[in-house]
Chains A and B, each alone.
Chain A
Amino acid sequence: MTPEKVALTTTSPAPKPRSNGKADNALAAELTRLLGPKKVLSNLSERLNYRYDAIQFGATPLAVVLPESTADVVTAVRAARAAGVPVVGRGAASGLSGGAAPTSPGLVISFTRMTRLDIFPERREARAQAGVVTLAVTEKAKPHGLIYPPDPASFRTSTIGGNLGENAGGPLCFKYGVSGDYVKGLEFVDADGGVHELTRDAYDLAGLLIGSEGTLGLITEATLRLTPPPKYTRTLMASFPEVGACAEAVSAAIAAGAVPGKLEFMDQACTNAVEDFLAIGLPREAGAVLLVDTDGDDLGTVEEERALVEAACLNAGGTVRRAATDSESAALWQARRSVSPALGRIRPQRMNEDIVVPRSALPEVVREIRALGDASGLPLVQFGHIGDGNLHPNILFDPRRESPEAVHDLAHQIALVAIRHGGVLSGEHGIGTMKRAFMRDAVDPVTLGALRDVKRALDPTGTLNPGKILPDEDGTHAHP
């Protein structure tokens, strides 16, 4: 019997899979010595699984640490520093910009076992370790009449550490803000292995770490703000013959004074991919579908806002359907959350954009992008948090059929559309390696210099997640 089998014939609690101790490099051996075999993965089969996120495959790490405490993180960071290898933080690896995929062999610290979560209802706060799954915060807060609003579509999988690493948003961000807006304090480990406790005053260093994609420090714990959920929510779905009309309806509804809780759209290809998965009767023929929640504590206002949105949709040539029951609206929102992976049914690979444009420019932008897609001959789909002007144009491709250069070119053109209309490159998914090449288009050289200075100040040796966000200084930048 192999050691594996022996380990598994003991009774509960479930034994953690054990590395068989065959550390095949010095770093793995040293980490195993320091932390014990349970927390260190060193076999090839284990390490191969910590080289990707939801968009990209990177370099196979030399070792993986699954810390259970901040102290473990400190030990791991110090060992990697001593070995002179990079350190990449990893949550659930649901990231869409290559953030958690290592650019060179080093150490991956995966937070999935740091899952302590305490709720302090009287202070409306949660204290969460980095590996806590996002949805778990709301689930644990709900009995106290509280929720944690940031709701990325990946919230059943993604972790608080990864959400803060990317400053993730979700449908609720239109009215309620993104992850960073709910952070009251952070504990993080720096590139030297020092532990820091941050609040949001003085220099807002916590704010700087949020969205820094693990390049400035590793977040180990966060104090999060909780809020009571709105008393009433009403859901509607509108379908439009064409994407631009959908964007017009959104602009008009907001101009009329509606502040919906959620405002999301998906185009025809998205709707069809999701319908293939869920079969809940989404309108397959519509050029675009809009999903809207209006919410609040006053039912009259909630209904009024829904009427405003409805009128705007009808005006723009849309057809409106109200969700009659809670389960109907739950199904519609599950549909929206499933868009991204459901696109895999069309092509196995995709280039995922995450642009944000001013709302006034929305109709023009979605139409321009549609036209670019049509002209390129590549399958291009659009969806996103349209209320925020946050669009996710996705280029779907099969590397055996479509040329990566053509994909990259189209992605670049889309980025330029956003910039031309006064928009930015990333709303929530981060820059990672995917959009690093476009940073020079989006950020002026002086500002880029300031960003580099910040990175140098916090991570002088370039240990933390190298090759992400900032393009190389010599002017070359690797294509994704």
Chain B
Amino acid sequence: MNHEIPVQNIGPQGEVMAHAVDACVHCGFCLPACPTYALLGDEMDSPRGRIVLMKEVLEGELALADAAPHLDRCLGCQACVSACPSGVPYGELITSFRGWSEPHRERSPLDRAKRAAILKILPAPKVFSLAARAGQYTKPLAPLLPAALRAPLDLLPERVPAMQPSPRVTPARGRRIGRVAFLAGCAQQALAPNFNAATLRVLARNGIEVVIPEGQGCCGAAALHTGARDEALRLVRQNLAAFDPDEYDAILSNAAGCGAGLKEYPVVLHGLPDEEQARAFAAKVQDISEFLAGLLRQGDLEPPMPTSRPLTVAYHDACHLAHAQKIRLAPRELLRAIPGVTVAEVPEGDLCCGSAGTYNLEQPALANELGVRKAGNILSTTPDLVVSGNIGCHTQIQSHVRRQGSRVPVMHTVELLDLAYRGEL
């Protein structure tokens, strides 16, 4: 797309954005992939439309405030990236744009307070856990609250589990075949501590020593994707200092959103002195499923025990695995490695569940609509179990599946593997 974006005034992030706009040939191939286009049916809420809006704002033809409502409705799911044959890096565009535009935005005091609270609470596991517990007691009051406050409560599980501290080093069991660093994550530690526990058990069982480096923090994705660029830069640099890529075979994450965030570091630091360091770091980052599937392919994965009865597992592709990280096969391979498991493909599998980081809090109506649709599609496969590789999807799917009256267990891929190893399936 022709543009006149004044790259020189914007700096390195301007280059990233101009490149993305340039690459778009406005063919519209991405339209059917976009969840908001599916719901709203208008061009402004489509990827192609948003690219044009960002271009117009950057060129100074359109006021940011006019474009903002449509850009805010973008889930950042990157389904459009998977659908785009021209290779437009839409994810990089919207992230950079949000970072660039946030300081220029006018927001109401309530809006500001809400955003600040999200950005403070989400990345701090202890605070999050406290808040979640407080929320749990407030839940019965939910119907009385305004929608904006109700949304986060709706998502809380009935029981918020106790925090489980993770050991700094988990030694390999038996023969040691590798050593990895692990990003422990934030909200996930509070909402689903078993994800990490299962991850450590599965890795150790397969001869992998796991280190949780001290000084690590939130991956920064939430800050980055909501436009809090300074905060994101701080977190990115904190992690670059904590993880020395030379010390590990891989740097692992078991949350699709965080993994995608870590892999994005070189774009965040594009044009800055530490870009090279970010590149070396990102080259080592892998999702847990990617890493384990690697072991499986090399014949290094201990075979899981067969299930006690045939199980249909509905696998949900988290956007940040399937679209942002292009990981679709690995988790399916792992699930199929469990004798007795059949993987069911979910209709409209590429459509976002509506969770998308903080979207649930910022666009509750659209998020809800997508959640309802996703749960319906999942349940249509009559699964015995539902599996995904991302805490956000997990919470969203669990809450919507329950609301549709189903008690089907919802798990992380490694939890299932862990149960299979223990012969508990």
A interface residues with partner B (beta carbon < 8 Å):
1-2, 4-5, 8-17, 41, 43-46, 48-50, 52-54, 57, 66, 92-94, 110, 112-113, 115, 133, 154, 156-158, 273-274, 276-277, 338-345, 348-350, 399
Contacts and interface: CB of A to CB of B under 8 A. Distances in A.
B409 interface: no
Given A14-B39, A17-B70, A110-B43, A338 B85 contact: yes
Given A13-B369, A48-B53, A348-B22, A66 B27 contact: no
Contacts of A43: 66
B360 to A, nearest CB: 12
B52 A341 contact: no
B26 A17 contact: no
B365 A11 contact: yes
B43 A93 contact: yes
A5 B364 CA distance: 10
B177 to A, nearest CB: 29
Contact of B110 (A1, A4, A11): A1
Given A342-B86, A345-B86, A45 B67 contact: yes
Interface stretch (B28-36, B238-246, B331-339): B28-36
Contacts of A399: 2
B44 A17 contact: yes
A349 B2 CA distance: 8
A154 B44 contact: no
Given A115-B41, A339-B85, 6 more contacts: A10-B147, A16-B42, A41-B42, A45-B62, A348-B2, A348-B23
A399 to B, nearest CB: 6
B287 interface: no
Nearest to B31: A157
B70 A277 contact: no
B365 A15 contact: yes
Question: Which one of A10, A13, A92, A344 has the greatest number of beta carbons of chain B within 10 Å?
Answer: A344
B8 interface: no
Given A45-B66, A93-B28, A14 B365 contact: yes
15 contacts: A8-B73, A9-B365, A12-B368, A12-B372, A41-B44, A44-B66, A45-B53, A45-B62, A46-B42, A52-B52, A66-B41, A92-B28, A154-B29, A342-B87, A348-B1
Contacts of B364: 8-9
Contacts of A92: 28, 31
Nearest to A53: B26
A341 B61 CA distance: 27
B28 A157 contact: yes
Nearest to A347: B25
A4 B69 contact: yes
B108 interface: yes
B40 interface: yes
B365 A112 contact: no
A277 B326 CA distance: 12
A12 B85 CA distance: 33
Contacts of B1: 348
Interface of B: 1-2, 22-29, 31-32, 39-45, 49, 52-53, 56, 61-63, 66-67, 69-70, 73, 84-88, 108, 110-111, 146-148, 363-366, 368-369, 372
Given A49-B44, A349-B2, A341 B86 contact: yes
Say whether chain B's binding surface is mostly helix, strand, loop, or mixed.
Answer: helix
**7 nearest A-B pairs in the assembled complex, by CB-CB distance:** A344-B86, A344-B25, A342-B85, A49-B43, A45-B66, A338-B85, A341-B27
A49 B85 contact: no
A345 B87 contact: yes
Contacts of B147: 9-11
A133 B41 CA distance: 12
A116 to B, nearest CB: 13
B27 A48 contact: no
A11 B368 contact: yes
A341 B84 contact: yes
A39 to B, nearest CB: 11
A10 B365 contact: yes
B69 to A, nearest CB: 4
A274 B85 contact: yes
Contacts of B39: 14
B365 A16 contact: no
A16 B62 contact: no
A112 B29 CA distance: 15
Question: Which one of B29, B32, B53, B369 has the greatest number of beta carbons of chain A within 10 Å?
Answer: B29
Contacts of A66: 41-42
B2 A9 contact: no
B69 A49 contact: no
Nearest to A273: B85
B368 A45 contact: no
A140 to B, nearest CB: 14
A344 B62 contact: no
Nearest to A66: B42
A45 B365 contact: no
Contacts of A53: 26
Contacts of A16: 40-42
Contacts of B110: 1
A125 to B, nearest CB: 25
Contacts of B45: 17
B115 to A, nearest CB: 13
Nearest to B373: A12
A14 B366 contact: yes
Contact of B29 (A5, A44, A156): A156
B53 A154 contact: no
Given A8-B365, A14-B365, A46 B44 contact: yes
A64 to B, nearest CB: 9
A339 B25 CA distance: 12
Contacts of A341: 25, 27, 29, 84-86
Contacts of A344: 23-25, 27, 85-88
Given A54-B25, A112-B41, A48 B62 contact: yes
B26 A54 contact: yes
A52 B26 CA distance: 8
Nearest to A91: B28
A45 B65 CA distance: 9
Contacts of A343: 25, 86
A151 to B, nearest CB: 15
A156 B30 CA distance: 9
A179 B369 CA distance: 35
A341 B30 CA distance: 10
Nearest to B50: A49
Contacts of A93: 26, 28, 43
A69 B182 CA distance: 56
B224 to A, nearest CB: 23
Contacts of A350: 25
Question: Which one of B25, B85, B108, B366 has the greatest number of beta carbons of chain A within 10 Å?
Answer: B85
Question: Which one of B43, B86, B87 has the greatest number of beta carbons of chain A within 10 Å?
Answer: B43
B40 A17 contact: yes
Given A12-B372, A43-B66, A342-B85, A112 B25 contact: no
Contacts of B31: 92, 157
Contacts of A11: 147, 365, 368
A254 to B, nearest CB: 29
Contact of A49 (B25, B53, B111, B363): B53
Nearest to B37: A112
B97 to A, nearest CB: 14
A351 B66 CA distance: 32
Nearest to B86: A344
Nearest to B38: A14
A433 to B, nearest CB: 15
Contacts of A49: 42-44, 49, 52-53
Contact of A45 (B22, B23, B26, B70): B70
Contacts of B23: 344-345, 348
B77 to A, nearest CB: 16
B41 A113 contact: yes
A49 B25 CA distance: 14
A15 B73 CA distance: 12
Nearest to B106: A2
